């Protein structure tokens, strides 16, 4: 389901051509040819922008695929930062490291193969940014797991908070219900100020204020 008119999104993409570089283009082609879900460049730049805006140095991704979103977070945190990546498929780690190495962005990456929420529990400390892009039925549990471990002034970012695949928060089903529950939990948490940016399939941004 399109949230924003595709013609508007295509126009927005024309404003991001300065990011064209061989590795990023190769990652985008790989995803397109295999129908591999990635956040897309519009969301990627959004993630980098938000991470840079708070001076993020420590990021945790719940769901990393082959490293496309990590590409943007690594740009934001720099070589001295940390971007913790998670994926259940061990085949995605070497592909991600290869891409990120060729782009000069591998230094901050720490890769965890296995369940994303368990990997998060296994890493100590607070984070500047936690990004969620795991299976949608896990979204409420993801929020419950991370909400107390984001620093004050830090961000929780989540993709697919308005639609996913052919469905949306306006349809019935397990995943739409889980996404609605997730969004409501965040909206009701008085420690956070949140909004959903309707770019692509909805990027939720929540800042911890207390």
Residue 22 CB contacts under 8 Å (≥ 6 apart), including other chains: 102
Q: Does the residue 194 lie in any domain?
A: yes
The per-residue pLDDT for 166 is 72
The per-residue pLDDT for 108 is 97
Q: Does the residue 119 lie in any domain?
A: yes
Cα–Cα distance measured from residue 132 to residue 156, given in angstroms and rounded to the nearest whole number: 8
The per-residue pLDDT for 167 is 82
Cα–Cα distance measured from residue 129 to residue 56, given in angstroms and rounded to the nearest whole number: 7
Q: Tokens 């965040």 — which residue?
A: 186
35: its two tokens: 């129908």
The per-residue pLDDT for 2 is 75
Cα–Cα distance measured from residue 24 to residue 121, given in angstroms and rounded to the nearest whole number: 31
- Element housing 204 (H / E): strand 203-208
Q: What is the pTM of this model?
A: 0.95
Q: Domain span at residue 111?
A: 6-208
Cα–Cα distance measured from residue 54 to residue 28, given in angstroms and rounded to the nearest whole number: 27
Q: Does the residue 131 lie in any domain?
A: yes
What backbone torsions phi and psi does residue 3 show, to the nearest 5 degrees?
-85, -45
DSSP string, 29-42: HHHHHHT----HHH
Cα–Cα distance measured from residue 88 to residue 90, given in angstroms and rounded to the nearest whole number: 6
Q: Domain tally for the chain?
A: 1
Q: Does the residue 1 lie in any domain?
A: no
Cα–Cα distance measured from residue 65 to residue 46, given in angstroms and rounded to the nearest whole number: 18
CATH of the domain at 124: 3.40.50.150
Cα–Cα distance measured from residue 78 to residue 161, given in angstroms and rounded to the nearest whole number: 28
Question: Could you tell me if 179 and 136 are in contact, meaning their C-beta atoms sit under 8 angstroms apart?
Answer: yes
**Sign of torsion over alpha carbons 38, 44, 50, 53:** positive
CB atoms within 10 A of CB 7: 9
Q: Does the residue 31 lie in any domain?
A: yes
What backbone torsions phi and psi does residue 110 show, to the nearest 5 degrees?
-125, 115
Q: Does the residue 10 lie in any domain?
A: yes
> pLDDT tens per residue, the chain (210 residues)?
778 899 999 999 999 999 999 999 999 999 999 999 999 999 999 999 999 999 999 999 999 999 999 999 999 999 999 999 999 999 999 999 999 999 999 999 999 999 999 999 999 999 999 999 999 999 999 999 999 999 999 999 999 999 987 788 999 989 999 999 999 999 999 999 999 999 999 999 999 999
The per-residue pLDDT for 187 is 98
């Amino acid at each position: 389901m399109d949230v924003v008119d595709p013609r508007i999104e295509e126009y927005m993409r024309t404003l991001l051509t300065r990011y064209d570089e061989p590795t990023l283009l190769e990652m985008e082609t790989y995803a397109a040819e295999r129908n591999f879900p990635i956040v897309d460049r519009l969301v990627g730049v959004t993630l980098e922008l938000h991470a840079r805006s708070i001076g993020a140095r420590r990021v945790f991704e719940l769901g990393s695929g082959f490293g496309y979103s990590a590409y943007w977070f690594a740009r934001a945190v720099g070589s001295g930062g940390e971007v913790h990546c998670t994926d259940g498929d061990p085949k995605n780690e070497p592909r991600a490291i290869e891409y990120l190495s060729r782009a000069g962005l591998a230094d901050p990456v720490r890769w965890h193969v296995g369940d994303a929420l368990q990997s998060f529990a296994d890493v100590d400390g607070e984070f500047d940014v936690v990004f969620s892009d795991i299976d949608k039925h896990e979204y409420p549990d993801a929020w419950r797991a991370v909400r107390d471990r984001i620093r004050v002034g830090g961000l929780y970012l989540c993709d697919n908070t308005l639609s996913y695949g052919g469905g949306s928060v306006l349809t019935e089903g397990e995943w739409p219900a889980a996404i609605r529950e997730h969004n409501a939990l965040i909206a009701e948490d008085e420690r956070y100020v949140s909004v959903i940016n309707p770019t692509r399939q909805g990027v939720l941004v929540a800042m911890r204020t207390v």
